[in-house]
Amino acid sequence: MIHPRTGRVHTSFNQTGAATGRLSSSDPNLQNIPIRSDLGRLIRGAFVPEKGNVLIAADYSQVELRILAHLSEDEVLISAFRAGEDIHERTAREVFSAEELINKAECRRRAKVINFGIVYGLSAFGLSKTLGISREDAQSFIDAYFQRYRGVRAWLDSTLEEVRRQGYSRTLFGRMRPIPDINSKDSNVRHFAERTAVNSPIQGTAADIIKIAMIRIHRALRARQSSAKMILQVHDELVLEAAEKEADSIYSLVRQEMEGVTELLVPLKVGLNIAGNWMDMK
């Protein structure tokens, strides 16, 4: 797949490949290069910049949970993000008993599953399988979560009611996604549509945010006549290539443009890394 003229591998980005609005990548899919395995990391090590350049990776931090905090206006989530707290540790403190919190690492792991599971409509059955616990314990964790994050519960309920009435969901920026099965008589079909209805405004807004960020960064780089360029988007992450001598200024520009896309009730935060190859970014 190496291009004969550039000597590089080039992907194709698909604007409408995913129903949520996320970009997808194909031929080859560079959004799906593994990172967790040793072999995957070695593969990432093969992605290098031109001589004299570096790679800059910019990744939105917990963007979907921050969007949830904004949409739901939940006071606990908002206060945690504004204070710069570890949101998974905060949820662990809200959901688990003092006795359970003795094992902080395990409670944080479980809280992370719950936090992201709520966004994706995770049921007690699904949570029990993921955590390897009984369905009763899983349900008690979910109940405890909604007891503390009451704004999230209210937002989920109102969103479902709105989608049932209108037949579509809407992102923060107004982009609509039809969900025709929301009132289906088939319970399995309907439940899937309900999960889609609550996830789409969150994941769809995240997709909108990074696309706007990409436009802002492109315009800013062009305005300063920089040789730096975006070379890859992996959902909530952008990878750029820049001359080593201007890496610090590009680093600052990218952070400013990504964090300034829109004003939420909680701050958008971006983590950045500079390295000589893609493997060393994490």
Q: Which residues are catalytic?
A: 59
Q: Which residues contact residue 75 at a Cβ distance below 8 angstroms, ignoring those fewer than 6 apart?
A: 151
Q: What is the DSSP string of 44-95?
A: HTT--PPTTEEEEEEEESSHHHHHHHHHHT-HHHHHHHHTT--HHHHHHHHH
> CB of 55 within 8 A of CB of 49?
yes
Amino acid occupying residue 122: L
Residue 260 has a CB neighbour count (10 Å cut-off) of 12
Residue 80 has a CB neighbour count (10 Å cut-off) of 22
> CB of 274 within 8 A of CB of 251?
yes
Cα separation, 206 vs 236, in Å, equals 7
Residue 280 has a CB neighbour count (10 Å cut-off) of 14
Residue 105 has a CB neighbour count (10 Å cut-off) of 8
Q: What is the DSSP string of 159-228?
A: HHHHHHHHSEEE-TT--EEE-GGGG-SSHHHHHHHHHHHHHHHHHHHHHHHHHHHHHHHHHHHHHTT-S-
Structure tokens at 175: 């982009």
